[in-house]
């Protein structure tokens, strides 16, 4: 496999990859798998159904401290890539999955990647899942990313998701749906920065089905220029469970943000809470950093980097 | 070192009106001296500090630093020339760690040992605090100590502390006060402390009594203290509810 300089930059941005990764990986470029490696414990298999292109990632029960990298890069303008990936994390496994998509669009047509991820975290397993989205390129063409993540967290399993979109994605519509069973736990952190004319929409539906299920959803976002964000997160408590959703946004320039955390309790022992806050950068914060020698722009960058770190 | 010539400041009062909070202040601060600025609430102490730092632009008058007219310089430019200011109520930053703030303050020149010393000096255990975020999980007293640590990290020559003692618990107050005084002597800096704390007033080379936007009196502590003693005690009682059985105020 040969990677161009653009490929390498995209891979570094979305998966912190500078070389071919250690462990299992699958690199998809412009709609095709260009490199793939399974390991003794982690199998990556292409799907056989031609109507559902993508891969199955199967982690053997009890696999510990292994990682899977499955970055997607798009460098062709006008490309519309649709992929279905299915993860099966075996019982009592403990693994890290690094997904993510980088688009370099140098042309006038839209480049789009719609990733549909179904993730099953089996009993007692632990999954850390990191997904970064990034767009770049001098073209006028839109860079569009519409990820869907559908999670099932079995008994006593733990999933920690970190979803990040910091730069260059013109339009995103993100759907996350999770079912959490007995004593299962989900912690999800979503970080988003939009600028220019970008739009971002994130819809989450988290079902706390099992006894002792636990969910913590944290969304932090920054909206700059004329960008728009719409964040809707629902927690549905159907058993003795605990859930908390928090949306915290910094608004700048002429941006518009809507944040709607929603709670739905369908069980007397469901304990659900939410917090939402939208505000601009406080003058005192800027002044404080300026008294320490930063310029106003450096102070803004420091505040935003911290907020989204 | 630092000179204010006929500096006046008028601020809006929020009701469409305005108020002169500093009135024709003439003041020269000499290199290496420790100044304590005291006086009643609303007397103009914080405004004076903010005018020096560039947070407020004076309505009239000029400010000189080492002979240079800095009246029109920004906060950043003044900071880079060697002036720094500790807030009375420091702001919080979600996601920015104590380590990050200290590093910015020190122009990224700190090694691991420096971080530890800075926090240790303000009575915070470095292991517990260095990687903490400066957010609402920190108490007012902790914020205050981190603020002071951030100033001590700064390679500045004029340090302005705005009521460093306020909000700090009694147990560590003495240590904090001593540390600011010690640093002053060690580093041969110019220190301006807005304070009601008697220890600061005692060690100050000069105490300035600021009231109604004017310097009403200046001199050693013994000259100024009798003028403000009752006033300060009275305000403290108002704040704490004025219980007659209260022990003496810590100031």
Q: A93-134 pLDDT, tens per residue?
A: 999 999 888 888 788 878 888 889 999 999 999 999 998 888
Handedness of CA A294, A299, A303, A308 (dihedral sign): negative
Residues in chain B: 251
Residue B251 clears pLDDT 50, i.e. is over it: no
- Structure tokens of B18? 């305005």
Residue A75 clears pLDDT 90, i.e. is over it: no
User: Is residue A295 domain-resident?
Assistant: no
> Which residues of B touch chain A, with CB atoms under 8 Å apart?
53, 55, 74-76, 79-80, 84-85, 87, 90-91, 93-97, 100-101, 104-105, 107, 133, 150, 154
- Average per-residue pLDDT for chain A: 91
The strand ranges marked E within chain B are 2-12, 18-29, 34-38, 60-65, 68-69, 83-86, 93-97, 133-134, 158-162, 190-194, 206-211, 214-219
Give the per-residue pLDDT at B16.
82
Q: Which residues pair with A186 in a beta bridge?
A: A159, A215
Give the per-residue pLDDT at A77.
84
More confidently predicted of B241 and B212: B212
DSSP-assigned states of every residue in A93-131: -EEEEEEEEEEE--SSS-EEEEEEEEEEE-TT-EEEEEE
Closest approach of chain A CAs to the CA of B104, in angstroms?
7
Quick check: B80 and A288 CB within 8 A? no
Give the per-residue pLDDT at B14.
77
Using a CB-CB distance cutoff of 8 angstroms, which residues of chain B are in contact with residue A294?
Answer: 76, 104
Closest CA to B126 of B109, B140, B112: B112
**Structural domain count, chain A:** 1
| Share of residues in chain A with pLDDT > 90 (%) | 67
Residue A21 clears pLDDT 90, i.e. is over it: no
User: Is residue A231 domain-resident?
Assistant: yes
Question: What distance in Å separates the CA atoms of residue A207 and residue A229, rounded to the nearest whole number?
Answer: 24
User: Is residue A272 domain-resident?
Assistant: yes
Closest approach of chain B CAs to the CA of A188, in angstroms?
16
pTM of the predicted model as reported, rounded to 2 decimal places: 0.85
Of A44-53, A63-72, A96-105, A295-304, where does mean pLDDT reach its minimum?
A: A96-105
Please give the DSSP secondary-structure letter assigned to residue B227: H
Residue B250 clears pLDDT 50, i.e. is over it: no
The partner residue sitting opposite A285, judged by closest CB among B91, B100, B154, is: B91
Kindly give the pairing relationship between strand B2-12 and strand B18-29: antiparallel
Give the DSSP H or E segment for A278: strand A270-279
Residue B50 clears pLDDT 70, i.e. is over it: yes
Question: What distance in Å separates the CA atoms of residue B175 and residue B170, rounded to the nearest whole number?
Answer: 10
User: Is residue A121 domain-resident?
Assistant: yes
Quick check: A306 and B85 CB within 8 A? no
Closest CA to B114 of A265, B106, B157: B106
User: Is residue A141 domain-resident?
Assistant: yes
Chain A and chain B share a number of CB contacts under 8 A equal to 61
Quick check: A284 and B87 CB within 8 A? yes
CB B126 within 8 A of CB B99: no
Q: Which residues pair with A112 in a beta bridge?
A: A80, A144
Handedness of CA A295, A297, A303, A308 (dihedral sign): negative
The strand ranges marked E within B123-251 are 133-134, 158-162, 190-194, 206-211, 214-219
pLDDT in tens, A202-258: 999 999 999 999 999 999 999 999 999 999 999 999 999 999 999 999 999 999 999
User: Is residue A294 domain-resident?
Assistant: no
What is the residue whose two structure tokens read 């009701």?
B15
DSSP-assigned states of every residue in B66-116: TTEE-TT--HHHHHHHTEEEE-SSPPPEEEEEHHHHHHHHTTT---HHHHH
Within 8 A by CB and 6+ apart from A179, the residues are A151, A152, A153, A207, A209
Question: What distance in Å separates the CA atoms of residue A158 and residue B179, rounded to the nearest whole number?
Answer: 47
Using a CB-CB distance cutoff of 8 angstroms, which residues of chain A are in contact with residue B73?
Answer: none
Query: Does A52 reach chain B within 8 Å, measured CB to CB?
Result: no
Query: Does A138 reach chain B within 8 Å, measured CB to CB?
Result: no
Q: How far is CA A116 from CA A132, A205, B29, B108, B147, in A?
A: 14, 16, 67, 43, 47
Give the per-residue pLDDT at B247.
47
Give the DSSP H or E segment for A171: strand A171-180
User: Is residue A65 domain-resident?
Assistant: yes
Within 8 A by CB and 6+ apart from B121, the residues are B149, B152, B179
What is the residue whose two structure tokens read 């936007």?
B213
The partner residue sitting opposite B76, judged by closest CB among A282, A284, A294, is: A294
> First-to-last CA distance in chain A?
33
- Structure tokens of A263? 């709670």
Q: Which residues pair with B191 in a beta bridge?
A: B34, B159
Task: Give the structural domain span for A27.
Answer: 5-283
The partner residue sitting opposite A290, judged by closest CB among B76, B96, B101, is: B76
User: Is residue A129 domain-resident?
Assistant: yes
Quick check: A287 and B101 CB within 8 A? no
Residue of B51, B74, B75 to mutate, interface with A, max A Cβ within 10 Å: B75
CB A48 within 8 A of CB A19: no
Quick check: B93 and A292 CB within 8 A? no
Mean pLDDT of B46-57: 96
Of A180-194, B48-62, B70-84, B236-250, where does mean pLDDT reach its minimum?
A: B236-250
Using a CB-CB distance cutoff of 8 angstroms, which residues of chain B are in contact with residue A291?
Answer: 53, 55, 75, 79, 84-85
Quick check: B76 and A284 CB within 8 A? no
Give the per-residue pLDDT at B241.
52
Mean pLDDT of B170-196: 87
Give the per-residue pLDDT at B246.
47
Question: What distance in Å separates the CA atoms of residue B81 and residue B75, rounded to the nearest whole number?
Answer: 10
Mean pLDDT of B23-31: 95
Residue of B76, B102, B156 to mutate, interface with A, max A Cβ within 10 Å: B76
Contacts 24+ apart (CB under 8 A), B136-145: B136/B92, B138/B92, B140/B89, B140/B167, B141/B167, B141/B168, B141/B169, B141/B172, B143/B89, B143/B90, B143/B92, B143/B167, B144/B90, B144/B168, B145/B172, B145/B176
Question: What distance in Å separates the CA atoms of residue A210 and residue A218, rounded to the nearest whole number?
Answer: 21
Please give the DSSP secondary-structure letter assigned to residue B205: S
Contacts 24+ apart (CB under 8 A), B233-237: B235/B40, B235/B41
């Amino acid at each position: 496999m040969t990677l161009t300089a653009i490929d390498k930059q995209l891979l570094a941005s979305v998966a912190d990859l500078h070389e071919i990764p250690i462990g299992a990986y699958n690199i998809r470029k412009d709609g095709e798998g260009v490199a793939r490696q399974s390991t003794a414990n982690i199998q990556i298999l292409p799907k056989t159904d031609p109507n559902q292109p993508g891969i199955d990632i199967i982690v053997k029960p009890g696999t510990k401290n292994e990682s899977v990298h499955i970055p997607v890069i798009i460098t062709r303008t006008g490309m519309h890539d649709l992929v279905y990936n299915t993860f099966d994390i075996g019982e009592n496994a403990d693994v890290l999955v690094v997904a993510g998509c980088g688009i370099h669009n140098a042309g006038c047509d839209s480049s789009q990647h719609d990733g549909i991820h179904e993730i099953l975290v089996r009993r007692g397993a632990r999954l850390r899942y990191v997904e970064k989205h990034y767009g770049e390129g001098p073209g006028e063409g839109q860079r569009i990313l519409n990820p869907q993540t559908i999670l099932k967290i079995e008994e006593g399993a733990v999933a920690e998701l970190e979803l990040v979109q910091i730069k260059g994605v013109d339009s995103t519509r993100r759907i996350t749906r999770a079912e959490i069973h007995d004593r299962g736990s989900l912690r999800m952190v979503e970080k988003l920065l939009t600028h220019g004319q970008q739009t971002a929409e994130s819809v989450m539906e988290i079902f706390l089905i099992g006894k002792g299920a636990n969910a913590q959803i944290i969304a932090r976002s920054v909206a700059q220029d004329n960008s728009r964000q719409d964040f809707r997160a629902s927690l549905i408590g159907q058993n003795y469970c605990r859930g908390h959703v928090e949306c915290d946004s910094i608004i700048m320039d002429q941006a518009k943000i809507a944040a709607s955390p929603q709670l739905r309790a369908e069980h007397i022992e469901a304990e659900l809470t939410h917090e939402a806050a939208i505000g601009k950068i406080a003058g005192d914060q800027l002044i404080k950093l300026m008294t320490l020698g930063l310029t106003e722009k450096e102070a803004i960058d420091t505040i935003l980097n911290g907020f989204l770190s | 070192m630092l000179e204010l010539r006929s500096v006046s400041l008028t601020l809006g009062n929020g009701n469409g009106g305005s108020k002169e909070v500093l009135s024709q202040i003439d003041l020269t601060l000499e290199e290496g001296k420790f100044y304590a600025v005291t006086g009643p609430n609303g007397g103009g102490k914080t405004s004076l500090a903010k005018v020096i730092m560039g947070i407020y632009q004076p309505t009239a008058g000029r400010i000189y630093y080492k002979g240079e007219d800095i009246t029109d310089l920004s906060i950043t430019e003044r900071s880079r020339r060697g002036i720094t200011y500790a807030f009375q109520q420091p702001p919080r930053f979600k996601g920015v760690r104590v380590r990050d703030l200290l590093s910015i303050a020190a122009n990224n020149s700190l090694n691991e040992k420096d971080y530890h010393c800075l926090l240790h000096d303000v009575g915070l255990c470095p292991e517990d605090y260095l990687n903490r975020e400066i957010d609402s999980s920190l108490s007012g007293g902790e914020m205050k100590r981190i603020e002071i640590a951030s100033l001590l990290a700064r390679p500045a020559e004029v340090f302005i502390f705005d009521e460093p003692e306020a909000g700090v618990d009694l147990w560590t107050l003495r240590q904090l006060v001593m540390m600011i005084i010690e640093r002053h002597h060690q580093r041969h800096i110019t220190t301006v402390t807005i304070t009601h704390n008697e220890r600061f007033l005692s060690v100050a080379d000069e105490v300035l009594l600021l009231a109604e936007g004017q310097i009403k009196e200046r001199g050693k502590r013994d000259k100024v203290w009798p003028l403000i003693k009752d006033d300060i005690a009275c305000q403290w009682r108002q704040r704490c509810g004025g219980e007659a059985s209260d022990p003496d105020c810590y100031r």
